[in-house]
Amino acid sequence: MKEAYVIGVDFGTDSVRSVIVNAYSGAEVAASVFQYPRWKQGLYCVPSKNQFRQHPLDYIEGLEATIKDCIKQSGASVAAQIRGISIDTTGSTPAAVDRQGRPLALSAAFADNPNAMFVLWKDHTATAEAAAINQHATQFETNYLRYVGGIYSSEWYWAKLLRIFRTDAAVREHAASWVEHADWLPFLLTGGNDIQQLKRGVCTAGHKALWSEAFGGFPPNTFFATLDPLLDGFVAHLPSKTYAADEAAGMLCPEWAERLGLTTSVVVGIGAMDAHMGAVGGQIEPYHLSKVMGTSTCDMLVVPQEDLAGDKTVKGICGQVTGSVIPGMSGLEAGQSAFGDVYAWFKQVLSWPLQLVKASNVLTAAQAKALVEETAAQVIPELAKAAAALPLEEDDVHAIDWLNGRRTPDANQLLHGALTGLSLGSDAPRIFKALVEATCFGAKAIVDRFEEEGVPIKGLIGVGGVARKSAYIMQVMADVMNMPIRIHRSEQTCAIGAAMFAATVAGIYPKVEDAMRAMGQGFDKEYFPDPERHAYYKKRMEQYKRIGAFLEHNNL
């Protein structure tokens, strides 16, 4: 059999990773990771104001560096047989572009303007705009929010666009359109130079931008013009047609073929969001919730279309869109705005004194640096060991996990996290235990909402860094959920999912389900619930809900 290879590219919050995969066996031939240099320096971000922006050069440099590195690892013979490339990204992560489809930040006039850059998914500067959209939508006979759970989020396309337009006249005047990261990259690789020719994916448009077949596309201009005159006429520049990720954006253009060392016979697929392709890479099954666990979580569910017949929708989630995960099925998305970020925050708090080590008079600079790095790397693993050894007591510390607001159920990015029940005996492991429980309770609230809305959850699939690295967190998850959770074997599930779509777009498989079966790496761990611990966590979950309701009611 003639060999064939594909490339999957996964743009995460902190880095981009590319893989070359054997399209027939699913074997990973090469992998490469690139940390965004500007993002790593904290440029263009103001965490205290919930402003998180990323420069398109971080994406371009990472795309080129990782693919070229993968090709170098795999050799010329493999490179000659690469058939397709597909890409996933974070989302909603949009940017203002000019008529050529070029992000404004790539021009000299806007090179250092954060408003001209990609507005990262976790940027929450648009809470007022999201609130305005939610209030405004109630005035229309058609419920334009019904397919995004009934609540529009500040993490999404229109809220971010309106925020930028309201606060930066120069960007507003030069923006010919507003494009998601997942849609822009295939456009870049195929040599696009006319924004009207950009193909928009159903994944980003449906879950984040209010596109729906039921509306014949996006909501009408009257919806946006009466929301704010600054949006008058903008939707006319957006296409009514969208594309699933098993369709082609085009062929690799000559410029990028030369830059990457590939040929123009390589097919480039339509892009999608990371968790959606990650669910495919993690071999999602109908009614099995795929939990992509990283800095945040994205919980993906696929349901046969006939099972959601009529106007059935699930309230308070991040949308249900036909074809957003697996073409032909309804893709339902939920998630938590902070998951791994909760643990990272606590690690940063505990690690603050380590900066004093750098000024030590007893260690050399090299020794101080090594000590800081070694200690920081041990914080979370050691906390997990200590927390796992603690007895389960009724008066343990409680936590609420909304450190970055709440994504689902019922998006509210103005909410805050909390710790309660602290005493002089509340040491670091006990607080960490509470934070882990809170993130798992937040996950349970999502499962409860699906089931309350008549959508059963038959199993859990864990993918991503947290799922693979922390046995303690996954055991708590199983105990809280009272349900087993299977952990997918792949270290790069999102990139592997992108590779599966690349194989489908290239015509190696007729459907992505066929690619998933042939290229899937399977599961290597499973965590089972303990009945006694579940009984303990069930009581704790009720307290979590009471504390959360108090915080929300009192705007704390």
- Would you say residue 358 lies in a domain? yes
* Spatial CA neighbour of 77 closest among 177, 187, 3: 3
What range defines the domain where residue 459 resides? 340-489+524-553
Same domain, 155 and 253: yes
Same domain, 46 and 177: yes
- The number of domains in the chain is 2
- Strand ranges (E), 408-534: 418-420, 459-463, 485-488, 523-527
Same domain, 202 and 227: yes
Same domain, 109 and 199: yes
Structure tokens at 188: 């870049």
Q: How many CB atoms lie within 10 A of CB 307?
A: 14
Provide the pLDDT for residue 309: 64
Same domain, 91 and 206: yes
- pLDDT above 70 as % of the chain: 99
Cis previous bond, 409, omega within 30: yes
528-531 long-range contacts (CB < 8 A, ≥24 apart) are: 528/478, 528/484, 529/478, 529/479, 529/481, 529/482, 529/483, 529/484, 530/478, 530/479
Provide the pLDDT for residue 310: 62
- Would you say residue 331 lies in a domain? no
- Would you say residue 287 lies in a domain? no
- pLDDT of 21 > 90? The answer is yes
Contact 301, 293 (CB under 8 A): no
Same domain, 175 and 277: yes
Pairing of strands 398-400, 418-420: antiparallel
Q: What value does the mean pLDDT of the chain take?
A: 95
**Distance set, CA 518 to CA 70, 330, 453, 498 (Å):** 22, 22, 34, 14
Q: What is the pLDDT of residues 55-69, one digit of tens each?
A: 999 999 999 999 999
Q: How many CB atoms lie within 10 A of CB 385?
A: 12
Contact 31, 492 (CB under 8 A): yes
Same domain, 509 and 450: no
Same domain, 509 and 429: no
What is the band of 312 on the pLDDT scale with cuts at 50, 70, 90?
confident
- Would you say residue 314 lies in a domain? no
- Would you say residue 433 lies in a domain? yes
- Would you say residue 329 lies in a domain? no
- pLDDT of 80 > 90? The answer is yes
pLDDT (mean) for 99-125: 97
- Would you say residue 301 lies in a domain? no
Same domain, 447 and 495: no
- Would you say residue 432 lies in a domain? yes
Q: What is the CATH number of the domain that holds 15?
A: 3.30.420.40
Q: How many residues does the chain have?
A: 556
Q: What is the pLDDT of residues 441-487, one digit of tens each?
A: 999 999 999 999 999 999 999 998 899 999 999 999 999 999 999 99
Contact 133, 152 (CB under 8 A): yes
CA triple 184-185-190, angle to 5 deg: 100
Cis previous bond, 154, omega within 30: no
Q: Which 8-state DSSP code applies to residue 219?
A: P
Structure tokens at 115: 């408003």
Provide the pLDDT for residue 307: 85
What is the band of 124 on the pLDDT scale with cuts at 50, 70, 90?
very high
Q: What is the pLDDT of residues 331-381, one digit of tens each?
A: 999 999 999 999 999 999 999 999 899 888 899 999 999 999 999 999 999
Provide the pLDDT for residue 218: 97
CA triple 492-502-7, angle to 5 deg: 55
Same domain, 347 and 231: no
- pLDDT of 195 > 90? The answer is yes
- Cβ-based neighbours of 311, under 8 Å, separated by 6 or more: 146
HEC string of 167-193 equals HCHHHHHHCCEEEEHHHHHHHHHCCCC
- pLDDT above 90 as % of the chain: 93
Same domain, 60 and 163: yes
Same domain, 147 and 247: yes
